[in-house]
Amino acid sequence: MRTRAAVAGGVVLILVAVIAIWLVVRQAGDRLRLPLMGRTCTVQADGRVVLDADQMANAATIAAIGAQRGMPERAVVVALATAYQESGLRNLADGDRDSVGLFQQRPSQGWGTPAQIRDQRYAANRFYAALKKVRGWEKMRVTDAAQRVQRSAFPEAYQKWADESEVLSRALLGDVTGAVACTVGRTPVMYGATAATQLTRNLVLDWGLKGTDPTDPTGLAVTPGDQRDGWRYAHWLVSHAQDHGVKRVRFGDREWTARNGTWGRVAGEQNSSGQVVAEVFNEG
């Protein structure tokens, strides 16, 4: 009898645990920040952050929009910390009440239509515009600056993402060399000319570049103003490798490949053109 009672008790405990895990997953949904095996990105910049491919692409776009607007690096840190807390750096289709998107902005509060807010560039631009209107935000703690924009019921929540956001901002704004390394899946979302065209289009939209066209159906090349800009574009390209079919990125004597998922020195002749060069996967 005692054995049966013990077994029954064990079964009950297991069922309770399973139900508890299911409830957590159901409530958290896309907010869980568990990286997908085989599609992870590691960012090393005086600290280490690991994201999955979608999170990395969203973080890269948030940083690029901040730079395009001429916002200081501190603003990018605040924006990334806000998106970390609000959505787990995911472009959510829903949320609390009518909140949607990376920053969980609400149409009913004048942030835009749901479709607009689900556009990552639109959402980031609206966040930066609102932050810029906050007097003295530059001297505030990350969580205080974010709270003045978001007006959250949990005003201290943003601060816990400050360290991760600083690591990401340093890498994505080109302060560190070869800092973003992504391992992408075996099957790219896009191939060939379609991938090259979309990659160029989105690079231009995120960074506000002009006169940049695909060099050919196999990829693109962009001439940076300086080394920092070069690593901004290179890290952006790697961040968007999974969703744009990027096979290889090269800048100076460093090269990232989808095969290895890491940056390494280029054997032989260095890329002397000064350009950031990206190659996409060919069809088939």
Contact 276, 250 (CB under 8 A): yes
pLDDT score for 210: 82
CA 137 from chain center: how many Å? 23
Helices 73-87 and 142-150: crossing angle in degrees, nearest 10, is: 60
Percent composition of the chain: helix, strand, coil (DSSP 3-state, to 5): 50, 15, 35
List the beta bridge partners of residue 263: 256
The Cα–Cα gap between 284 and 277 comes to 22
pLDDT score for 16: 45
pLDDT score for 11: 44
At 105-126, the pLDDT tens digits run 999 999 999 999 999 999 999 9
The Cα–Cα gap between 73 and 123 comes to 18
pLDDT score for 268: 64
CA neighbor of 89 nearest in space, from 183, 164, 176, 173: 164
pLDDT score for 273: 74
Write out residues in the chain with pLDDT < 70, as ranges: 1-38, 211, 213-215, 268-272, 284
Give the CA diameter of the chain: 81
The Cα–Cα gap between 185 and 245 comes to 10
- Helix and strand element counts for the chain (H, E): 10, 8
pLDDT score for 278: 96
